[in-house]
Amino acid sequence: MRLQQTLSKVITSTNEIFEAEAGSVALLEPSGKELLIKAAVGSGAGAVLGIKIPVDRGVIGWVVTHNTPAVISDVSKDERFFSDIDKETGFATKSILCAPLRVNNRVTGALELMNMHPRFLSDNGLKILSVIADHAALAIENTRLFEEIRKAENNYRELFDNANDFIFTLNRNFRVSQANLAVLEKLGYRRNEIVGMPITQFVQPENIERLFRQFKNQLANSGAPTIFDFTILSKQKEEIQIEVAVRVQRQHQRNVALQCIARDVTQRHLLEKQLRQTEKLSTIGKLVAGVAHELNNPLTSIVGYASMLQEEEMPQRFHDDLQVIFRQAERARVIVRGLLAFAKNITLETEPVNINDVIQSALALMQPQLEHHNIQVNTSLQFGLPLTVADPHQLEQVFVNLITNSVHALNAVSGVRVLTITAGQSGGNILASVADNGPGIPEKILNKIFDPFFSTKQVGQGIGLGLSICYGIIGEHNGRIWADTAINRGTTFFIELPIIPVSVPAPAGVPAETSPASSVPDKALQILAVDDEDFLLALLDRVLSRHGHRVDRAASGQIALQKLTSNSYDVIISDVLMPDITGPELYQQVAKSQPDMAGRFIFITGNTVDLNTRSFLDKSGLPWLAKPFLPSDIEQAVNKIVAVPFG
């Protein structure tokens, strides 16, 4: 029964027993300073409901304050009477009978009866009212406690069902006895389905023993909650990673159940895996960058001298040997550039991109290989895909790498070789795929394919950086890349990219080697070559001197400054990183003292990974060459820079 119903029943029954003309029940407010009339009968009952009376006013206030019943035959002769209530109700009170409501001698309110003529004069009536008030107080208190319990239970149920975390209870037989809505929604069951199910229903068979061991240890120890990660299965057999805290529920010193609170950490595990992969790539990238930087200088000499020697007159067998040297040096050059591409923090030069155009461009680049290997290409590119902000060249590299991988895989197929590429929209993302019908990837190595230097190809066919580079590029775009494979049924790589608004600046600069060749200058040039490696200075001298240019060598930035004070030069070719004065520092000092020479610099560097180096090169807008470079590269750079009027 609800509290209001109990109060109404109490005052109605009491009023009938005493045949009073009016009556009310007032309860003490939590502050203890006021009484609130909660129920009333008789004349003026509607007007009196909800009125608050200070405990220091009126007969009812006196009764509550003194914890003593009162009988008044003529209120006009009693100073305790409070007439303001009569003014509100229009009732002319003459006599009052009032008793406190007590629970364990604690006053909780008062029961008051009123008439418009003298009544309630007997002490016996007062005793009867006091007994009724005591029983009523107990009934009222029980009703109030019941309502509080029911409210608390409703709050608990609301909290239980609306919690984002999984909350469930297992009995001693490890069957589900309770489960909240989060469990039902995530696992796809109804409550009447899941209650009574054994926990083994939600676990892969190979994990059952481990789970039971955890639960049994918890039941045996009855200690603090145990927290561990586990994988559960939904009704559709989807795997969900959870972090579960388990505690023992006890009853009469006996362990009766396991209470479990779990959180879906599937996404967290995925992000942690991506973070570990990124950290792994970053650590290896630093090592690779250092190795590649050290290889660049000797490779520049090997490539340069081999290239020039091929132009000399010599016996054919020497030309053949030189061709082998040059070809292998070129191969090493490509490998080093791949290492640097993997190692560097990818700087995206973004612009509005249509992913379909990027895919078509990658296919055009790979067309000769695809035709050579008799590979049938199928595309399903959704028309009208929204543009997104991305680096088209980096994404093109991703698709070229994936198509190259598919070509290698399809070489093992004796029948029809098929490459299928798709692109479409999935929610707020673009989802593309590159699939082949090759032999597939063994499951035991699937989680290693994005690791740097991991490769299933034969020695000489690759160094295992292609997928690592793809992983880094897609990560820089805040996207995801993953593979789905099956033995003898092929492999599909998926790429997911966010669709983001189109608004990007134009790229700042380009390497000199990408520029078109300029005409050969019609006069010999005075060129200052600055590098701390003597063999590179010798190579630059050899390359440029054969065109009649005079090359002045400086083995450090300081020597270069000294030469610049006494000589004038048409071109300055400078390394970026040198022990005393760096290339950028040399450039800044020359630009300050000889402003007309600021536009005459060509930089060479083997450290394109360094962010400060790339930032300087991009901001300066000056031509630069990445080591190792070919003699023709440096010749074109010089020709281009002198084509611009001096000063």
Instruction: State yes or no: pLDDT of 580 exceeds 80.
Output: yes
Taking only the tens place, the pLDDT of each residue in 48-57 is 888 899 999 8
Burial of 316-334, coded b for 16+ CB within 10 Å and e otherwise, reads eeeeeebeebbeebbebbe
Q: Which two tokens mark 591? A: 């630009």
Burial of 170 (0-12, 13-18, 19+ CB in 10 A): buried
231 with 241: CB under 8 angstroms?
A: yes
Across the chain, what does the average pLDDT equal?
A: 82
Write down the pTM of the prediction: 0.42
Architecture of domain 3-158: 2-Layer Sandwich (3.30)
549 with 641: CB under 8 angstroms?
A: no
602 with 272: CB under 8 angstroms?
A: no
Q: How many CB atoms lie within 10 A of CB 463?
A: 18
Q: Which two tokens mark 324? A: 């082998």
Q: Which two tokens mark 230? A: 């586990």
Q: Which residues contact 418 (CB under 8 A, 6 or more apart)?
A: 375, 376, 377, 378, 436, 437
Which of 565, 629, 580, 581 shows the shortest CA–CA distance to 602? 629
Domains 270-343 and 351-498 alike in fold: no
For residues 403 and 400, give the distance between their C-alpha atoms in angstroms, rounded to a whole number. 5
Query: 270-343 has which CATH code?
Result: 1.10.287
From the centroid of its chain, how far is CA 439?
Answer: 34
Taking only the tens place, the pLDDT of each residue in 193-240 is 888 888 888 888 888 888 888 777 777 766 667 788 888 888 888 888
Polymer length in residues for the chain? 647
From the centroid of its chain, how far is CA 319?
Answer: 58
Burial of 97 (0-12, 13-18, 19+ CB in 10 A): buried
Q: Which CATH class is domain 163-264?
A: alpha beta
For residues 62 and 70, give the distance between their C-alpha atoms in angstroms, rounded to a whole number. 9
Q: Which two tokens mark 462? A: 């690759």
Q: What share of the chain is helix, strand, coil (3-state, %, to 5)?
A: 45, 25, 30
Of the listed ranges 127-131, 414-418, 502-506, 553-557, the one predicted with least confidence: 502-506
Give the bridge partners for 111, in sequence order.
25, 99
Largest alpha-carbon pair distance within the chain?
Answer: 144
Of the listed ranges 192-201, 343-352, 617-626, the one predicted with least confidence: 343-352
Query: 512-642 has which CATH code?
Result: 3.40.50.2300
CA 455-606-626 angle, 5° bins: 90
Taking only the tens place, the pLDDT of each residue in 96-142 is 899 999 988 889 999 999 888 776 556 777 888 888 998 889 888 88
Taking only the tens place, the pLDDT of each residue in 421-441 is 999 998 889 999 999 998 888
Three-state DSSP at 144 gives helix
Phi, psi of 244 (to 5 degrees): -115, 135
User: What CATH number does domain 351-498 carry, 3.40.630.30, 3.40.50.10860, 3.30.565.10, 1.20.59.10?
Assistant: 3.30.565.10
| 579 or 508: which leads in pLDDT | 579
Three-state DSSP at 155 gives helix
Instruction: With residue 284 as reference, give the H or E element that holds it.
Output: helix 266-309
Burial of 9 (0-12, 13-18, 19+ CB in 10 A): middle
613 with 619: CB under 8 angstroms?
A: no
Question: Given this model, what pLDDT does residue 354 score?
Answer: 93
For residues 38 and 341, give the distance between their C-alpha atoms in angstroms, rounded to a whole number. 80
Please state whether the peptide bond connecting residue 198 to the residue before it is cis, i.e. omega within 30 degrees of 0: no
Tokens 């006069």, residue? 523
Give the bridge partners for 481, in sequence order.
495
- Listed by start position, the domains of the chain span 3-158, 163-264, 270-343, 351-498, 512-642
Of the listed ranges 87-101, 108-122, 367-381, the one predicted with least confidence: 108-122
Q: Which residues contact 347 (CB under 8 A, 6 or more apart)?
A: 611, 614
